[in-house]
């Protein structure tokens, strides 16, 4: 009898364990389901296309181009040299910090958000074409609420190319050799952050120890505007000998090679913390050229416009490129917005802009542009 009771006890205990396990399954499934969005926020895959760089990918996914090294470290099995990534390579984009995860999940509400308190989302100005009847000219006017746009960071400013005649650069000198790291004098083909570069300087423009220089390389010519000056990176002068400057690489934007020109580092005008304010009848110009010649434009591409300081342009201002008023089959078509552009570098007669919103693939050199929002 006692043995029978013990057996019943064991059976009951086993049944209780089974029931407890079955009851726990829905809770475990629910917990797992709740955890899945977090996994989505910790990483994603990007298929490289022509023109991509780790700098651009870090700017797009991690909201800071200087985090390109994070993407490189996560893909060392695929990327041998961070300066060279190739179309169709599949790269893992590491997860964002916890406070940025909600931004990465574009359509997911932030944790704890309620119907009364919707999650914060990044929005852009909504622009639409209109006709200014008073002046009789077609204009692009803004509609919708004012919103915050990403600020122009120092790295974006220094990495932005510009148009100039090489003779107007007034370089301090040119790079004659690069060394493979601060602990070695091994001469290598290209330099990386914290490596040394050696610059043959011109005595008439000798810098001082501690000065920062921008290494640039003249690129292709743009008719009537000079050549595209491509920033390669920044260096800090660490020593000055008879005719050679030793400098340490700070930021790197492109492959740093010999023959690069060293020019004084232009002062960054300051971070753009406040959203640009809409204006009416802003200055007009044209889209001169893209930094890279390619059949289809894309967001974050850089281009040049025929507006500059003499037109009141400043870093952080915004423009729109648009199809002008035209006729088709006898019907007048109003102006049509093509893209929204943000100013990242300004010269006297021209400026470098970045595509922040592309609405049509018809963005091309020659299209008119107009300033629609000014830095406060």
DSSP state of 347: -
Query: 334-367 pLDDT, tens per residue?
Result: 889 999 999 999 999 999 999 999 998 899 999 9
pLDDT value at residue 111 = 34
Confidence of residue 5 (pLDDT cuts 50, 70, 90): very low
Query: 289-313 pLDDT, tens per residue?
Result: 999 988 888 888 999 999 999 999 9
Q: Find all residues with CB under 8 Å of 44, minimum gap 6, and list them.
A: 61, 92, 93, 104
Confidence of residue 272 (pLDDT cuts 50, 70, 90): low
177 pLDDT above the threshold of 80:
yes
Place of tokens 């601060």: 182
Structural domains in the chain, sorted by start: 43-103 (3.10.350.10), 126-152+271-374 (2.40.10.410), 156-264 (2.40.10)
Which SS3 state, helix, strand or coil, does residue 147 take?
Answer: coil
Q: Does residue 303 contact residue 290 with C-beta atoms inside 8 Å?
A: yes
145 pLDDT above the threshold of 50:
no
Query: 51-62 pLDDT, tens per residue?
Result: 788 888 888 888
Mean pLDDT of all residues belonging to the chain = 75
Which comes out higher in pLDDT, residue 83 or 220? 220
Question: Which percentage of the chain shows pLDDT scores above 70?
Answer: 69
Question: Distance (Å, rounded) from C-alpha 303 to C-alpha 364?
Answer: 10
């Amino acid at each position: 009898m006692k043995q029978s009771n013990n057996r019943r006890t064991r059976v009951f205990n086993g049944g209780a364990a089974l029931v407890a396990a079955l009851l726990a399954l829905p809770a475990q499934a629910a917990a797992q389901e709740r955890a899945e969005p977090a996994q989505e926020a910790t990483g994603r895959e990007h298929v490289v296309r022509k023109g991509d760089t780790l700098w651009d990918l870090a700017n797009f996914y991690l909201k800071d181009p200087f985090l390109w090294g994070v993407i490189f470290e996560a893909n060392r099995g695929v990327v041998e040299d961070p300066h060279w990534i190739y179309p169709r390579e599949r790269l893992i984009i590491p997860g964002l910090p916890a406070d940025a995860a909600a931004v990465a999940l574009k359509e997911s509400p932030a944790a704890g958000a309620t119907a009364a308190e919707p999650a914060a989302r990044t929005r852009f100005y909504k622009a639409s074409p209109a006709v200014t009847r008073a002046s009789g000219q077609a204009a692009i006017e803004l509609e919708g609420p004012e919103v915050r746009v990403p600020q122009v960071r120092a790295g974006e400013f220094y990495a932005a190319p510009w148009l100039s005649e090489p003779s107007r650069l007034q370089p301090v000198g040119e790079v004659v050799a690069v060394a493979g790291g601060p602990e070695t004098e091994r001469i290598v083909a290209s330099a990386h952050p914290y490596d040394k570069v050696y610059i043959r300087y011109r005595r008439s423009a000798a810098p001082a120890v501690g000065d920062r220089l921008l290494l640039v390389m003249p690129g292709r010519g743009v008719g009537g505007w000079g050549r595209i000056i491509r920033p390669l990176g920044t260096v800090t002068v660490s020593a000055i000998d008879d005719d050679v400057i030793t400098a340490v690489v700070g930021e790197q934007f492109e492959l740093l090679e010999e023959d690069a020109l060293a020019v004084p580092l232009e002062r960054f005008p300051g971070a753009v913390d406040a959203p640009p304010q809409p204006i009416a009848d802003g200055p007009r110009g044209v889209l001169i050229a893209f930094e890279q010649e390619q059949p289809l434009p894309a967001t974050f591409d850089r281009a040049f416009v025929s507006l500059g300081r003499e037109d009141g342009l400043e870093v952080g201002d915004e423009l729109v490129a648009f199809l002008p008023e035209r006729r088709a089959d006898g019907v007048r078509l109003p102006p049509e917005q093509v893209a929204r552009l943000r100013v990242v570098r300004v010269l006297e007669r021209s400026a470098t802009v970045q595509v922040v919103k592309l609405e049509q693939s018809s963005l091309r050199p020659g299209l008119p542009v107009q300033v629609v929002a000014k830095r406060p």
